[in-house]
Amino acid sequence: MKLNSRAQSAQNQHTNSPIVLVHGLFGSLDNLGILARDLVTDHDILQVDMRNHGLSERSPDMNYPAMAQDLLDTLDAHDIEQATLVGHSMGGKAVMAFTALAPERVGKLVAIDIAPVDYQVRRHDEIFAAINAVTEAGVSTRQQAAEVMRQHIKEEGVVQFLLKSFVGGAWRFNVPVLWDQYPHIVGWETIPAWDHPALFIAGGNSPYVTTEYRDTLLAQFPQARAHVIAGAGHWVHAEKPDAVLRAVRRYLAE
């Protein structure tokens, strides 16, 4: 599946590899825009809508081998031979899975607040409840949708994040499939080791990348290093964009 995407050419002449930015669950290609706006100064940038999100195609399958294949199909469509892959959360797992599918196509890898593990935890049930409540209420504006969601979600940042995908009175992600395939999204199947330097950026307040996952992570990414950003949660790139960009640029310069 070729994904809906937004391509931007670098503002300055360069020989750097292109960067592909991959959003997380309930997101869209706009989500990592804060990174794109900085990195496009000296990198070609490709932002994608993952399957069942944004304006990309719908599918009953939502697993990481399929998502990795989508990324490969999209790179092929854009004639990108090798790229730096940057993914947040679900997108981070998708780019990790890509290393098992086409390792030679990955120049560098950045995973933001996610580890290659099966979490076996349902952290999004209140979000699904809020999304479904908006649909059942039949509201048409983002203001109305926000009022409904606040009855289920206390974090205003999460409400505003979700609202970006509420367009014309409808959600731009495929809610039934995401619910049905949720075990695959939080899950993970171990992949062969990708033995190149990789950067894992973690929010200091987030439960997604902790010392308990260290051995599992290093078995699959033996040259990985972690960069923990204090005072940030799961949406670390939105909360502390400057710190994330400093870490990414240091890694890219190596």
Q: What is the pLDDT of residue 240?
A: 96
pLDDT for 96-110, tens place per residue? 999 999 999 999 999
Alpha helices by DSSP H, listed for the chain, are 33-39, 64-77, 90-101, 125-137, 142-149, 156-163, 175-180, 182-186, 214-220, 236-239, 241-252
Contact indicator for 84, 109 with CB cutoff of 8 Å: yes
> Is 56 among the catalytic positions?
no
Q: What is the dihedral of CA 196, 201, 204, 207, to 10 degrees?
A: -80
pLDDT for 150-186, tens place per residue? 999 999 989 999 999 999 999 999 999 999 999 999 9
pLDDT for 92-151, tens place per residue? 999 999 999 999 999 999 999 999 999 988 989 999 999 999 999 999 999 999 999 999
Which band of pLDDT confidence, cut at 50, 70 and 90, is reported for residue 64?
very high
Contact indicator for 4, 55 with CB cutoff of 8 Å: yes
Strand 198-203 and strand 106-112: pairing?
A: parallel
Catalytic residue among 5, 56, 89, 165: 89
> Is 234 among the catalytic positions?
yes
Catalytic residue among 23, 152, 234, 237: 234
| pTM of the predicted structure, to 2 decimals | 0.96
Domains delineated in the chain:
5-119+187-252 (3.40.50.1820), 125-177 (no CATH)
Nearest to 94 by CA among 60, 59, 63: 63
- What is d(CA 129, CA 112) in angstroms, rounded to the nearest whole number? 26
pLDDT for 23-34, tens place per residue? 999 999 999 999
